[in-house]
Chains A and B, each alone.
Chain A
């Protein structure tokens, strides 16, 4: 390792902000172990306590009907397809009741861009949930918000305002994919552009909703475009401070319209570590056991990750793309303890769930 890289890693580990050129140098040349160790040092500086958190939640995909036809997606069905569904409120309620019975505090609700459901349907759904269940609703990624704005003729700010009034608690960071328009034009041409994705998040932050930010990499983007994604998130976070966590994961190519080599676990770990070093203004970095499996997720706790994501009592989207890892809360606890950390259940905003053992 060159002295220049060692110095950069040391400085980044101490909290100095990286420039784009410096981040690129680390991305291309820092050895895996050194990159990971620097990221772990940042993690320990931000979270000195040996705790790894996770949320107990369930993914509820209210519908798979979608007009976007993103090429990386194995989950959606075009309107009119035999396998299209929209969950009834009753079915959603049943899933929430099961989640609460399992100690869950949150539901993550995302769906396709349904061409016919009006905004009032989503508002009714939120009111139904809030009237019947004590649960945090983490729902509707920015592309869905943009879609709702289109079908209702309202601005995204008005949509967020109405959803919040109906019970929306926070917004998941999905649909970010790679926040570079040239990539989005190739892989998800019908989804909102990068600037709009960030604008929706910043609007949500302005209205007091916290959100996460994700990154799906390993499809048709370049290394440089991955960096651009990180820097876009960092700049946005500088403006609002509203992102609670950054969640990178790798594209899963099975059953999609993109031919790509599945990224290896060290490529994932490098990206995770680099994200931790670049995103000096984001507190939490989640590891992705859903795409990487329990073994690499555990290792990722030494490459910048401090959060195990969620128990995902139900997960449908990644599974449709050919990967089906499953972990119970007890298994997550075991993995985290075996890695040398204390597992703690948290809420969306990273407050710990105190009443648990």
Chain B
């Protein structure tokens, strides 16, 4: 039972009662959570919700990220990773490179996360081949590959519909779409930070299509750049409406929401007031409270730092992502976290938090039947 006296004093008594009852919060209530002067009260409410959903279970995955290229036609203003074709520092992995890297991981990954730039020449046949080869090399791994933005790019290059692209990739082994490319849905902000990228309508449509095809997907939000609090709430609201529809249609919907704090280094966006730790935790907590129909929320330690991710597990998050091993995109933008964590480190860390570690696969099924 929440300490209602505390929440009443902050004007959040009604919100606390709705959280307790599992009822949907309005956008106005989201605004009140952002306006609350005591961020730890918002965190306590989010933790209440997280505990109602997952108890003290805390998920992690043995995973491996592969970034197949940094060559990208989009040139988003926030990106420190992208290179133009022909520019120094650009790279493309061959299929063999990708498979070799995956097999070199210290533990066989359960989840393979493959994303890359929107390369002007890499064709769908390459990606079909990539998925087939990876699945053959790692039959137990779930392939979580290609953001909706890449799917839209493949469709344009091939002259196919995005449904056709998704179906083709699904036939080659694709099981999930990662949540990237969502950034912030607000069109005005998107125009300034990623004008060439799929717009919100396209991003959401592709996720709906993926859900209808039986693929699960994740969703992200990049925050702390030029967007307003109102834009963040709108983003969350659009996601939960998309999720309502996908679930109504019998699809898998979004599995996990991943709030990504904007990293301020090495890119073209000048942020007047960069995020601080408490801003990050508040947005994580508000996300947990607003997204009542998305089961999981990830504290992505690569972007948050490990210590902040640990705190986030008490501010609404239930998942730590995983071992990662090698990460480029966040680190090139100034992320200061280490490159990888071992399974033993993750387990010991979660136990140290007084929580229960659950190793999961990409779709959050416990490995080995732990519950």
Chain A contacts to B: CB under 8 angstroms: 1, 6, 32-34, 36-37, 40, 261, 263-267, 269, 292-299, 302-303, 334-335, 338-340
Contact = CB atoms under 8 A, between A and B. Distances in A.
B44 A296 contact: no
A1 B47 CA distance: 13
B277 A295 contact: yes
Interface stretch (B32-40, B62-70, B240-248, B357-365): B32-40
Given A299-B278, A339-B276, A33 B310 contact: no
30 contacts: A6-B3, A33-B40, A33-B47, A33-B314, A34-B3, A37-B40, A37-B44, A261-B345, A261-B348, A264-B307, A264-B310, A264-B352, A265-B308, A266-B314, A267-B353, A295-B277, A295-B280, A295-B305, A295-B308, A297-B277, A298-B276, A299-B311, A302-B38, A302-B40, A303-B40, A335-B276, A338-B278, A338-B279, A339-B278, A340-B37
B40 A36 contact: yes
Judged by DSSP, the binding face of B is helix
A292 B305 CA distance: 11
B291 to A, nearest CB: 20
Nearest to A335: B276
Given A33-B47, A37-B44, A267-B352, A338 B276 contact: yes
A292 B307 contact: yes
A271 to B, nearest CB: 12
B290 interface: no
A269 B311 CA distance: 9
Interface of B: 1, 3, 6, 37-41, 43-44, 47, 273, 276-281, 304-305, 307-308, 310-311, 313-314, 345, 348-349, 352-354
Contacts of A6: 3
A338 to B, nearest CB: 4
Contacts of B37: 340
Contact of A296 (B273, B311, B313): B311
B278 A298 contact: yes
A340 B278 CA distance: 10
Contact of B277 (A1, A267, A299): A299
Contacts of B43: 33
B276 A265 contact: no
Q: Which of B37, B43, B305, B310 has the most CB of A within 10 A?
A: B310
A91 B281 CA distance: 43
Given A37-B6, A295-B307, A299-B311, A263 B352 contact: yes
Contacts of A302: 38-40
Q: Which of B279, B311, B314, B348 has the most CB of A within 10 A?
A: B311
Given A295-B277, A299-B277, A265 B311 contact: yes
Contacts of B308: 265, 293, 295-296
